[in-house]
């Protein structure tokens, strides 16, 4: 089984989300399952699909030169800075990754863990907690790396990799962040808090609970080495070969349209989030 | 877990035939369990025309954002707006208070082609 491997470089938030979604459309119409690695230029804060944008200090983001974009996936805010971002897009009925949500996270996480192990880092799979105190989303922190999320990889007891999924048109898209270095100061400067003491508390809690790859490894491994290791781990775990390729012309065009017409707007989810440009 | 009187789809929706051409739809116990805690539901609007297989709602859970598909073609005549404030009803009572929408079917015969409870259980490996 041969899947496509893409290195698309670093782009603004809207184009990055446009590319992920363009790949989803392409897989929905029979294109090859695709593993993509990318970065963010400028750095960007991404919000969950239905997250309230009022949690974000948009003025502060502008001052800091941080892009703000809404992801097609769920979860909370993530600051994408010095990191390796991956996305894996494949049919739900691939026969390779289990169809169940939990089981699919577990299979992909095992691949990520295998890749990181090849760099010399032992990680553990942590299953996100179910909230028992529901109702709705009250009380959850705005920051993803500080709140319960689903399968995540931890290193030394701290959260390292967070991932999120969307399932549309029979296609599964999972993307996630592997931070190489963390900037908790910038993350918490981008979010709104009732006062500075609350901001300081949130930041301290985050620093105690989250780590980065370079911190966990104790050395600086470059982007491409990390991406290649992760691709190797996912390939071995799922039993697939990756062949490096490029976006098709159609995918590029769709990605640019989606970036311009959809992801450039933080309120895209409010205007019929289910319709897409062709 | 899978009431006998309902019809099911492979995409984990259920359908209950009501008066005349009306069908109430929601997601199955299996689906709500897979999703985990549902935190947000984007509902269709009453009056929307839908075709079978088309996405009519989006459910965000702690684990995933997932499309919910129309099991039959027709027109949305009612939506469960209680889900806006209490999305957890999908977890707590998937066949009751967690219903999603009522569709007026173009052709009531469409429901005949859906899965029975036994067929659905076989599909999810619980037969």
Q: Model confidence at A273, in pLDDT bands (50, 70, 90)?
A: very low
B:57-76 residues touching chain A, CB 8 A cutoff = 58, 60-67
Instruction: Indicate the CATH number for domain A2-129+141-270.
Output: 3.30.930.10
B:94-113 residues touching chain A, CB 8 A cutoff = none
**Quick one: CA torsion of A238, A241, A243, A249, rounded to 10 degrees?**
-50
Helix axes A223-238, A101-118, angle to 10 degrees: 130
Q: Model confidence at A269, in pLDDT bands (50, 70, 90)?
A: confident
Residue B115 has pLDDT above 60, yes or no: yes
Q: Is any Cβ of chain B less than 8 angstroms from the Cβ of A270?
A: no
Size of interface A-B (CB pairs under 8 A): 81
Task: Give the mean model confidence (pLDDT) for residues A128-156.
Answer: 59
| Domain-embedded: residue B108 | yes
Task: Give the mean model confidence (pLDDT) for residues A146-172.
Answer: 85
The C-alpha angle B75, B81, B87, rounded to 5 degrees, equals: 120
The length of chain A is: 278
Q: Is any Cβ of chain B less than 8 angstroms from the Cβ of A245?
A: no
What's this model's pTM, rounded to 2 decimal places?
A: 0.89
Q: Model confidence at A129, in pLDDT bands (50, 70, 90)?
A: low
ipTM > 0.85 for the complex: no
Q: Model confidence at A26, in pLDDT bands (50, 70, 90)?
A: very high
- Find the range with the poorest average confidence among A53-62, A266-275, B102-111: A266-275
| Domain-embedded: residue B31 | yes
pLDDT digits (tens, 9 = 90+) for A37-79: 999 999 999 999 988 899 999 999 999 999 999 999 988 899 9
**Euclidean distance between CA atoms A136 and A50, whole angstroms:** 12
Domain count, chain B: 1
Residue A144 pLDDT: 56
| Domain-embedded: residue B127 | no
Residue A80 has pLDDT above 90, yes or no: yes
With b for 16 or more beta-carbon neighbours within 10 A and e for fewer, the B8-42 pattern comes to: bbebbbbbbeeeebbbbbbbbbbbbebbbbbbbbb
Residue A122 has pLDDT above 60, yes or no: yes
Residue A237 pLDDT: 97
Give which of A25, A129, A167, A174 to mutate to test B binding, by max B Cβ within 10 Å. A167
Strand B38-42 with B55-61, pairing: antiparallel
Mean pLDDT, chain A, integer: 90
Residue B29 has pLDDT above 70, yes or no: yes
Residue A76 pLDDT: 86
Distance of alpha carbon A177 from the chain centroid? 5
pLDDT digits (tens, 9 = 90+) for B30-41: 999 999 899 999
**Euclidean distance between CA atoms A36 and A97, whole angstroms:** 17
Neighbouring C-alpha atoms within 13 Å toward the C-beta of A87: 26
Give the three-state DSSP class for A84: strand
CB count in 10 Å sphere of residue A169: 16
Give which of A107, A274, A275 to mutate to test B binding, by max B Cβ within 10 Å. A274
Q: Which domain holds residue B81?
A: 7-120
| Domain-embedded: residue B64 | yes
Catalytic residue check, A144 = yes
Answer yes or no: do A273 and B34 touch at CB < 8 A. Answer: no
Task: Give the mean model confidence (pLDDT) for residues A102-121.
Answer: 96
Is there a cis peptide before residue A268, judged by omega within 30 degrees of 0?
no
Map out the domains of chain A as residue ranges: 2-129+141-270
Q: Is any Cβ of chain A less than 8 angstroms from the Cβ of B40?
A: yes
Q: Is any Cβ of chain A less than 8 angstroms from the Cβ of B3?
A: no
Residue A150 has pLDDT above 70, yes or no: no
Q: What is the CATH number of the domain that holds B19?
A: 2.40.50.100
Residue A145 has pLDDT above 60, yes or no: no
């Amino acid at each position: 089984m041969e899947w496509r491997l893409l290195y698309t470089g670093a782009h603004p938030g809207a184009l990055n989300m446009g590319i992920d979604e363009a790949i989803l459309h392409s897989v929905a119409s029979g294109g090859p399952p695709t593993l993509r690695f990318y970065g963010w230029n400028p750095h960007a804060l991404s919000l969950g699909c239905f997250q309230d944008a009022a949690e974000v200090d948009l003025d502060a983001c502008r001052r800091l030169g941080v892009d703000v974009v809404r992801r097609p996936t769920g979860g909370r805010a993530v600051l994408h800075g010095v990191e390796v971002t991956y996305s894996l897009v494949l049919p739900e009925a691939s026969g390779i990754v289990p169809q169940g949500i939990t089981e699919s996270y577990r299979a992909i996480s095992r691949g990520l863990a295998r890749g990181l192990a090849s760099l010399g880092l032992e990680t553990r799979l942590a299953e996100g907690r179910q909230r028992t105190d529901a109702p709705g989303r009250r009380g959850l922190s705005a920051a993803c790396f500080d709140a319960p999320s689903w399968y995540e990889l931890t290193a030394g007891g701290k959260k390292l990799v967070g991932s999120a999924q969307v399932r549309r048109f029979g296609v599964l898209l999972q993307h996630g962040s592997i931070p190489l270095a963390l900037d908790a100061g910038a993350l918490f400067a981008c979010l709104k808090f009732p006062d500075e003491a609350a901001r300081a508390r949130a930041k301290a809690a985050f620093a105690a609970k989250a780590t980065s790859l370079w911190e966990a490894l104790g050395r600086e491994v470059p982007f491409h080495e990390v991406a290649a290791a992760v691709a190797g781990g996912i390939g071995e775990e799922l039993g697939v070969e990756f062949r490096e390729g490029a976006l098709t012309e159609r995918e590029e065009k769709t990605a640019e349209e989606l970036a311009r017409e959809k992801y450039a707007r933080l309120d895209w989810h409010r205007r019929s989030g289910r319709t897409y440009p062709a | 877990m899978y009431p006998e009187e309902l019809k099911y789809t492979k995409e984990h929706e259920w359908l209950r035939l009501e008066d005349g051409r009306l069908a109430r739809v929601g997601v199955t116990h299996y689906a709500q369990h897979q999703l985990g805690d549902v935190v947000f539901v984007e509902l269709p609007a009453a009056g929307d025309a839908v075709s079978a297989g088309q996405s009519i709602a989006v459910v965000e859970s702690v684990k995933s954002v997932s499309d919910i598909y129309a099991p039959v073609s027709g027109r949305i005549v009612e939506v469960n707006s209680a889900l806006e404030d209490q999305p957890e009803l999908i977890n707590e009572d998937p066949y009751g208070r967690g219903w999603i929408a009522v569709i007026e079917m173009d052709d009531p015969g469409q429901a005949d082609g859906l899965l029975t409870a036994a067929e659905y259980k076989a599909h999810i490996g619980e037969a």
